[in-house]
Amino acid sequence: KASSAVRILEVGPRDGLQNIRTQVPTATKIELIKKLAATGLTDIEATSFVSPKWVPQLADGAEVMHHILNLGSQNDLRFSVLAPNLKGFENAFRAGAKEVVVFASATEAFSKKNQNCTVEQALDAARAVVKQAKQNNLWVRGVVSCIFSDPYSGPTDPRDVLYVVEQFVDMGCDEIGLGDTLGVGTPKRTQTLLEVLLKAVPADKLTGHFHDTYGQAVANVLRAYELGLRTFDSSIAGLGGCPYAPGAKGNAATEDIVYAFENSGIDTGIDLQKLATVGDWISRQLGLPNNSRAGAALVAK
Ligand code: HMG
Ligand code: MG
């Protein structure tokens, strides 16, 4: 029987910041990660090793890693970084990463816009990364984008999601992230897709990554929990979006899902009040409204 506790994977420093247009100071990114780590979060997606031409905001990934790695050895913290190809892997490995994330879209149009290649080419690049990563004993997550819909070509066929998930399993990914890039999922769509995927992959290999464009992300997380998933990506203050998915909003806010779980008797290991303070702090640093309802409510008290 699955344990009731959940693992929250904080993606704010990566997904949250990649879409911010003004350059966020490297020191602010490092401080954000330190503050997040102090809330009890154990898994933090710290940055990306992608082309700086494509995502200039995260061009300082190596410097960010340099300043946070010693936090990890002190308290079992796990930092993951995006590395979609060998060049990214080499840079990530050199920077000390022990956990890497490869990604591919379930759809061709987004693949072309986000990675400048076909789905098959993205999978080939991922396969090369996973091979290197496994030879060096790194943990690897494969993330599938556009699980419900593609911003350029419309609804996704669940069989295309299943195909990419199975490719990630076959190449040796330790876990598979399901990315609702556009944030158009609903609990019903989440259930329909998971019923397909769970026939092929055990729930403990899957992680949920729901963007909140239509305000459904918390509901989707809870439905996925009911269906057996125990790891969820979320972003502090609901930051996030993808530069290549126009109109998409941030991820499920970490404060909101921690509030939902903790007040349903499900342990997250995270100090919600501290988390809310971090969400308020980073929103102010970025000059953005706080997109977490729970976070905003808690700091107003
Ligand atoms: P490309 O331009 O086709 O790459 O980009 P290329 O192989 O032709 O190389 C061109 C130049 O880029 C070369 O340099 C390479 O060395 C360099 P030059 O010889 O011209 O000086 N290059 C790199 N530099 C640094 N790091 C690298 C790297 N790779 C090549 N890793 C590429 C192809 C995949 C690199 C590009 O399209 C890219 O970086 N895409 C990533 C875009 C991205 O990060 N998107 C956001 C993350 S995904 C996401 O947000 C979704 C997710 O949250 C889940 C969800 O919500 O669904 C994960
Ligand atoms: Mg995302």
Q: What would the pLDDT profile of 123-164 be if each residue is shown by its tens digit?
A: 999 999 999 999 999 999 999 999 999 999 999 999 999 999
Q: Quick one: pLDDT at residue 74?
A: 62
Distance (Å) from CA 77 to ligand 1 centroid: 27
* Dist CA 286 CA 112 (whole Å): 30
Q: Quick one: pLDDT at residue 1?
A: 44
pLDDT tens digits along 90-128 = 999 999 999 999 999 999 999 999 999 999 999 999 999
Ligand 1 pocket: which of 14, 18, 48, 51 to mutate (most atoms <8 Å of CB)? 51
For the cut 90, the answer to whether the pLDDT of residue 204 exceeds it is yes
Q: Which atom of ligand 1 is nearest to the CA of 58?
A: 44
Q: What is the pTM of this model?
A: 0.97
Answer yes or no: is the C-beta of 139 below 6 A from any ligand 1 atom.
no
Closest residue (by CA) to atom 40 of ligand 1?
A: 115
Closest residue (by CA) to atom 16 of ligand 1?
A: 87
Answer yes or no: is the C-beta of 47 below 6 A from any ligand 1 atom.
no
Closest residue (by CA) to atom 32 of ligand 1?
A: 115
CA dist list (Å): 118 to 113, 185, 192 = 10, 24, 26
Closest residue (by CA) to atom 49 of ligand 1?
A: 242
Q: Quick one: pLDDT at residue 295?
A: 98
For the cut 60, the answer to whether the pLDDT of residue 64 exceeds it is yes
CA dist list (Å): 44 to 176, 237, 269 = 16, 15, 14
Distance (Å) from CA 54 to ligand 1 centroid: 6
Closest ligand to 147 CA?
Answer: 1
Distance (Å) from CA 55 to ligand 1 centroid: 8
Q: Which atom of ligand 1 is nearest to the CA of 211?
A: 56
pLDDT tens digits along 16-31 = 999 998 999 999 999 9
Question: Is 242 annotated in the active site?
Answer: yes
What is the Cα 67 distance to its own chain's centre? Answer: 21
For the cut 70, the answer to whether the pLDDT of residue 73 exceeds it is no
Q: Quick one: pLDDT at residue 301?
A: 85
Answer yes or no: is the C-beta of 152 below 6 A from any ligand 1 atom.
no
Residue 275 neighbours by CB distance under 10 Å = 30
pLDDT band at 252 (very low <50, low <70, confident <90, very high): very high
For the cut 80, the answer to whether the pLDDT of residue 247 exceeds it is yes
CB 78 within 8 A of CB 46: no
Identified catalytic residue from 117, 146, 173, 242: 242
Q: Quick one: pLDDT at residue 249?
A: 96
Q: Quick one: pLDDT at residue 168?
A: 98
Distance (Å) from CA 144 to ligand 1 centroid: 16
Distance (Å) from CA 277 to ligand 1 centroid: 33
* Dist CA 275 CA 281 (whole Å): 10
The interface predicted TM-score (ipTM) is: 0.98
Closest residue (by CA) to atom 13 of ligand 1?
A: 51
Instruction: Summarize the confidence of residues 181-206 as an average pLDDT.
Output: 98
pLDDT tens digits along 177-192 = 999 999 999 999 999 9
Which amino acid, residue 128? A
CB 253 within 8 A of CB 232: no
